[in-house]
Amino acid sequence: MERKIKVLLAKLGLDVHNRGVITVAKELRDAGMEVVYIGNALPEQIVAAASQEDPDLVGVSSLGGAHLSLGRMLIDQAQAAGLYPETVFMIGGVFSPADAQKLKALGFAGVFPPGSGREEIVGFVRQAVAA
Tell me which residues touch other proteins (CB under 8 A): 11, 13-19, 22-23, 25-27, 29, 35, 37, 39-42, 64-66, 69-70, 73, 94-99, 113-115, 117-118
Instruction: Choose between 6 and 40: whose C-beta lies nearer to other proteins.
Output: 40
Least Cβ distance, residue 114 to other proteins (angstroms): 5
Residue 33: partners with Cβ closer than 8 Å, 6 or more residues away: 4, 5, 6, 7, 125
Q: Closest separation between CB of residue 14 and other proteins, Å?
A: 4
Q: CA 34, CA 13: separation in Å to the nearest integer?
A: 23
Strand partners, 126: none
Q: Which residues neighbour 65 within 8 Å (Cβ) at sequence distance 6 or greater?
A: 94
| Beta carbon of residue 1, minimum distance to other proteins (angstroms, whole number) | 25
If the CB atoms of residues 41 and 78 are measured against other proteins, the closer one turns out to be: 41
